[in-house]
Amino acid sequence: MLTVADGRVVRVRPDPDFPFNRGQMCVKGLATPEIMYHPDRLLHPLRRAGARGAGHWTPVSWETALAEIAATLDRIRNESGPESIALGQGTGRHHYLHVVRFANALGTPNWYEPGLANCFIPRVTVSQLTYGGFVVGDYDGPVRPQTILFWGHNPVVSGPDGELAFPVQQALRDGAFGIAIDPRRSETARLCQMWLPIRPGTDAALALAMIHVIIFENLYDREFVEQWTVGFGELRDQVRDCTPAWAEAITRVPAAALAAAARRYALAKPSILEWGVALEQNPNSLQTVRAVALLRAITGNLDVPGGDILGMNLTRPYPVLKDKLPAGMLRKRLGADQFKLLGGFKAFMPSAHIPALFTAMRTGDPYRVRALLLFGNNPLLTVAHARGVHAALQKLDLLVATELFMTPSAALADYVLPAACWPEVNQVLELPLVAANAVVAQSKIVQVGECRQDEEILDDLARRLHLPGADEPLEAVLNYRLAPLGLTFEQLRARYFVYPPHRYRKYAEGGFRTPSGKVELYCRALERMGYAPLPTFREPPESPVSRPDLIAAFPYVLTTGSRRRQFFHSEHRQIAALRRLQPDPQADLHPDTAGRHAIRDGDWIWVVSPRGRIRMKARVSPDILAGVVNVDHGWWFPERGGPDYGVWDSNANVLTSDQPPYDPAFGSYQLRGLLCRVERVAAEPAGSLPADSAEPAAGDPAAGHPGAAA
C-alpha cells in the first residue's frame, strides 16, 4: 500500500489483506521511497562522451537516444545478422518475458539472464519432465504442512518472487518440523529443528541416499507409487548401493542424521520440499535436481493439501512471439547444439549459454556478437569470470544499459537509459512464479523524471525497427493474458489480485502432463535426448576429491551466492537505510578455520581462489561447516565513484570460473564447492586496496594453474 503526496511516494506499508505477505513487508520494499528519490538515481538518458568506461556522459533526449540506438542496431543486423545482437536481463524482473518477446521479434536467438542454467530453469524443466508441471509449497490450504525440508534454500531471507518468506515463517511457528540442508546454518535453518551441514556440490549423493532409505525401509507411499509413477523398479536398483554410509563419506552429513531426516520427511506428512539455486550451480545440475525432485513423488507429497502442489496456471502464457524467430536461428543460438534443455527446441525458455555468449563477444567464435542491450542486468557482478566479462563488454560495438542507477556494467555503456521503479510500472504478476496460483496487478501511480518502463522502451525500439508485434500496446498483451479469468487489466487493477481456491490432485482428472500420464521416475524423454534417465552423483570438478593437487595451496571449500535480506543481488548498495544493516561484504568461516590463521570476527581477510582474490570482512561462527568458506555476492561500492566503483575489490565472481566442464543438458557451471584459502589482510589505510586485489599475488600457486588467466 502506497501513500502519495504531491505526486511523490512518501510511504510504503504492507497490505494486511494480501495473502502472500500476511501484513508484513521486507526491508527493501519499505525503503522504496529512498530508492525512488535517491539523488543518484538516473533520471534522463545519457550518451557516452569520450572513451568507454571513462565516466563522461552527455544528457540526450529519449528521441535522440532511441533513434541512434535503433539506427545502430539496424546497421549491425544488416551487416552481421540479428544473431550478432544479444540481450541480457536481471532475474525476477517485471519485463522478463517482454525482453524475450523483443529478442524473438528482432530475430536474435541470443538472450540471457544470469541465472537460467544456474538458477531456477533446471528446477522448472525437471518439474515439467518429471511431474508435467511446476510445484510449490501449499501454505494456505485446509491442511497444515507437518514437515518442511529446505534444501539449499534460505527463503526467510531471499523471499523468492515475493511469495514465500512470510508463509514459511508462519508455518514453522505453527508447528511444522523444519529440516535444513545447507553448509550454513542460515536464517531459515535457525528456525528448523534439524540442520544437516553438507559439503557444497554433493547434494545429489545426499538425495540418492535419502531415496535409498525411503525405498529400502519401505517408507514410500506404495499406493501412489504403484498407481501414479513409472520406473520405480529401475530407481530402486539405481540407489541400491547409495547407502547413508556411502553418502556420509561424500557429503560429510552423518549417516544417522541423513536417515532420520529421510524418515521424518517420508512419514510426518504432508511434507513440503523447498529447493533453492544451490542445487543448480554445479556441472551435475540436471541429475542433482532430478534426484531431489523424485523425493516428492515416492513419498506421495504431490498436489495434496499441505504438500507440494502443481500450479493452477490461471493466465495465458506471455506472447513472446516465438514463431517470429526466423527459421535457422535455433541452430545459431550459442550453446543450443550442446545444451538441449537450455537452448534447444525442448527447452522451457530457450536462451543462450552465457559462457559461450561472452566468449563470442571477446573472440568472435563461432561468430562475433557485436551489440548487447542490458535491462536491469549488471553482468560484471552477476556473471562468472568477471575479468572475462569486462573484456567482452569492451569489445562491443554497442552496449546499452537500462537501469535505476549507474552500475559498474552501465558505466561501460554507450547509452544509459533511466528505468522505472515498480510504482511507475504497469504489469501483470503471477504468484508463485510459473505456478500462477494467484494473479496480481502492478499499477503505475507516479512518474519520476524521464524514467520509462522497460517494456515501453522495448516497444519503442521495436516500432523504430519495424518489428513484428510492434504496434500491439502493452495493455493489449496484458488483456490477452488475463482472458481466461474474464478480466481486463483495468478490471484487475480495480480488484488488485485474484487468488481462487486451489484444486488438489488435478492428476486424478486425466493424469500428469507427461508422456506416460504418470510421474516419470525413469524419464524416457531424457533418455531420448541422450541424458541419463535416472539421477546420478558426480563429484564437482574442482573439489578436495577431484583436485588433490590444489589442496596444499587451496585447502578450503568455497561457496558463493548467499543472499542478504537488505540487498537484491547487486542492487541497493547506495541506499543508506539498507546499507546500514550491512555496511561491508562478509565471508563466513567456522572458528576452527579462522583459528588456523589467527582470524577474528570482524577482521578483513583475503579470500583467494585459483583465479583471483577479494577482500571480505570475516564473520566467524559455528553456523557453517568447518573447512567451508561462504562469501556474499554482488558487492561493489557506489560511494567510491566511477569509473569502476570498486568492482574488483569484493566481487565474488573474481573467484569463479565460467570454464567447462558444464552440465551436459543445461550448461550449468560450478559456482559452489570450489577451492580457496583465506588470509588476514595486512594493516592498510581505511578504504584502500592494493592494486593487485583482484588477481593472485606474484608467485601465487594459482597464477600458473590452468584457468587462472582464462
Place of cell 529447493: 275
**Looking at residue 576, which CATH number applies to its domain?**
2.40.40.20
Q: Which residues are within 8 A (CB) of 323 and not within 5 positions of it... i.e. 6 or more apart?
A: none
Q: What is the pLDDT of residue 271?
A: 98
**Looking at residue 370, which CATH number applies to its domain?**
3.40.50.740
Domain check: are 169 and 305 in the same one? yes
Tell me the pLDDT of the chain averaged across its residues.
94
Question: How many other CB atoms are found less than 10 A from the CB of residue 290?
Answer: 29
Give domain status of residue 358, yes or no: yes
Domain check: are 560 and 597 in the same one? yes
Q: Grid coordinates in use for 187?
A: 536464517
- Residue 162's pLDDT band, with cuts at 50, 70 and 90, is low
- Residue 39's pLDDT band, with cuts at 50, 70 and 90, is very high
Domain check: are 307 and 350 in the same one? no
3-state secondary structure 47-75: EECCCCCCCCEEECCHHHHHHHHHHHHHH
Range of the domain at 142: 132-311+508-528
pLDDT of residue 692 exceeding 60: no
Q: Could you give the number of structural domains in the chain? A: 3
Domain check: are 268 and 374 in the same one? no
Could you tell me if 440 and 408 are in contact, meaning their C-beta atoms sit under 8 angstroms apart? Answer: no
Give domain status of residue 595, yes or no: yes
- Residue 149's pLDDT band, with cuts at 50, 70 and 90, is very high
pLDDT in tens, 389-426: 999 999 999 999 999 999 999 999 999 999 999 999 99
Domain check: are 184 and 82 in the same one? no
Q: Grid coordinates in use for 262?
A: 529421510
pLDDT of residue 627 exceeding 50: yes
CA 165 to CA 238: how far, in whole Å? 36
Domain check: are 276 and 320 in the same one? no
Mean pLDDT check: name the lowest of 18-27, 83-92, 339-348, 393-402.
18-27
Domain check: are 208 and 332 in the same one? no
pLDDT in tens, 57-68: 999 999 999 999
CA 285 to CA 526: how far, in whole Å? 14
- Residue 115's pLDDT band, with cuts at 50, 70 and 90, is confident
pLDDT in tens, 67-114: 999 999 999 999 999 999 999 999 888 999 999 999 999 999 999 998
Domain check: are 113 and 141 in the same one? no
* Planar angle of CA 514, 517, 519, nearest 5 degrees: 70
Q: Which residues are within 8 A (CB) of 409 and not within 5 positions of it... i.e. 6 or more apart?
A: 374, 377, 378, 379, 380, 381, 393, 401
Tell me what the mean pLDDT of segment 262-280 comes to: 97
Give domain status of residue 659, yes or no: yes
Q: Which residues are within 8 A (CB) of 502 and not within 5 positions of it... i.e. 6 or more apart?
A: 138, 140, 141, 309, 312, 437
Q: What is the pLDDT of residue 562?
A: 85
pLDDT in tens, 433-472: 888 899 999 999 999 999 999 999 999 999 999 999 999 9
pLDDT of residue 388 exceeding 70: yes
Domain check: are 151 and 83 in the same one? no
Q: Grid coordinates in use for 589?
A: 568461516
Could you tell me if 381 and 354 are in contact, meaning their C-beta atoms sit under 8 angstroms apart? Answer: no
Give domain status of residue 693, yes or no: yes
pLDDT of residue 695 exceeding 60: no
CA 329 to CA 242: how far, in whole Å? 43
Could you tell me if 183 and 200 are in contact, meaning their C-beta atoms sit under 8 angstroms apart? Answer: yes
Q: What is the pLDDT of residue 690?
A: 34
Domain check: are 186 and 207 in the same one? yes
Domain check: are 184 and 292 in the same one? yes
According to DSSP, the β-strands at 519-520 and 229-230 are parallel
Give domain status of residue 209, yes or no: yes
pLDDT in tens, 193-250: 999 999 999 999 999 999 999 999 999 999 999 999 999 999 999 999 999 999 999 9
**Coil, helix or strand for 149?**
strand
CA 416 to CA 409: how far, in whole Å? 10
3-state secondary structure 275-299: ECHHHCCCCCHHHHHHHHHHHHHHC
Give domain status of residue 6, yes or no: no
Domain check: are 336 and 461 in the same one? yes
Amino acid identity of residue 651, one-letter, is N
Give domain status of residue 17, yes or no: no
- Residue 161's pLDDT band, with cuts at 50, 70 and 90, is low
The candidate with the shortest Cα–Cα distance to 228, out of 128, 131, 124, 125, is 131
Give domain status of residue 336, yes or no: yes
